[in-house]
């Protein structure tokens, strides 16, 4: 949920205020004092979202937004406009230029982070929306349910994510470190052995349907989901 956010704002006081609040909300703000500077930074590394002031010296905010939206590489980055007053014309041209939302000054820090959250959640569409089924084991991300041979399986959140990852990446070995990255998140710090415990819990839950064999351990390497019971199928 934390995101890198590019703040394009020429007034230092507001710039500071915004970035500070973003930091407090757990985000990673980047500062740009002009549209030109912002363009450089965008070309360097894509941010997750852009907070764009309406009135800027040199290139205006609208022009900047237009430039971004006409570039295939940058057009997908959501933009939130900051405007001095809720002016109708501003609103229309801003949205026309491709802004996803706008905030009228003065705004509360709370509204700021709320809008960001709203836009980002709106912008991230479904990842794996389809149902996965392997050897009678069925997992549905949409309804968030798992069954083995028609019988319901009760899983904790982490076990669910773990199984989801395995079922979308079957027949492939993953180290504990890789699993921590993919299932827990690349930023958390937990012991490698924690994976073992969750693997066991997952197997336990799957055992009632006889599907515990699906999660196989590859000694000194990691774990793997496979339909074949054989511990080693070479070539």
Partner DNA sequence: GCTTGGTGTAACGCCATTGTCACAATCCGT
Partner DNA sequence: ACGGATTGTGACAATGGCGTTACACCAAGC
List contacts with its own copies (CB under 8 A): 13-14, 17, 20, 78, 91-92, 95-96, 98-102, 106-111, 114-115, 117-118, 121-123, 125, 138, 140, 142-147, 150-157, 171-173, 175, 177-178, 181, 186-187, 189, 218-221, 224, 226, 230-235
CB 235 to its own copies: min, Å: 7
CB 197 to its own copies: min, Å: 18
CB 107 to its own copies: min, Å: 7
Residue 4 burial by Cβ neighbours in a 10 Å radius (0-12, 13-18, 19+) = middle
From the list DNA, its own copies, none, partner contacted by residue 117 (C-beta under 5 to 8 A by kind):
its own copies
From the list its own copies, DNA, none, partner contacted by residue 109 (C-beta under 5 to 8 A by kind):
its own copies
CB 66 to DNA: min, Å: 22
For the record, the structure tokens of 55 come out as 């009135």
CB 221 to DNA: min, Å: 6
Distance CA 71, CA 19 (A): 26
Nearer residue to its own copies within complex by CB, 44 or 143: 143
Nearer residue to its own copies within complex by CB, 122 or 200: 122
Q: Say how many residues make up the chain.
A: 235
Nearer residue to DNA within complex by CB, 178 or 194: 194
3-state secondary structure of 169: coil
Diameter of the chain measured on Cα atoms: 68
Cβ 32 vs Cβ 51: under 8 Å: no
List the beta strands (DSSP E) in 23-142. 28-32, 49-53, 79-83, 101-104, 132-134, 137-140
Q: Which of 201, 206, 200 is nearest to 136 (CA)?
A: 206
């Amino acid at each position: 949920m934390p995101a890198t956010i590019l703040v394009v704002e020429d007034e230092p006081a507001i710039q500071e205020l915004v970035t500070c609040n973003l930091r407090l909300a757990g985000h990673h703000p980047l500062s740009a004092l002009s549209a030109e500077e912002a363009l450089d930074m965008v070309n360097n590394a894509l941010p997750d979202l852009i907070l764009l002031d309406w009135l800027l010296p040199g290139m205006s905010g609208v022009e900047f937004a237009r430039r971004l939206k006409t570039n295939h590489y940058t057009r997908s980055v959501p933009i939130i406009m900051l405007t001095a007053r809720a002016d109708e014309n501003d609103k229309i041209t801003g949205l026309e230029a491709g802004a996803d939302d706008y905030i009228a000054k003065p705004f509360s820090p709370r509204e700021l982070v709320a809008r960001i959250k709203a836009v980002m959640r709106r912008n991230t569409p479904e990842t794996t929306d389809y149902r996965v089924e392997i050897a009678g084991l069925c997992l549905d991300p949409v309804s968030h349910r798992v069954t083995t041979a028609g019988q319901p399986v009760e899983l904790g959140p982490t076990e669910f994510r773990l199984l989801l990852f395995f079922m979308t990446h079957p027949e492939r070995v993953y180290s504990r470190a890789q699993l921590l990255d993919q299932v827990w998140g690349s930023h958390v710090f937990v012991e490698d052995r924690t994976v073992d415990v969750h693997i066991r819990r997952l197997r336990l839950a799957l055992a009632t349907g006889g599907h515990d064999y699906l999660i196989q351990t590859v000694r000194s390497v990691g774990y793997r989901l496979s339909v074949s019971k054989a511990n080693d199928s070479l070539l």
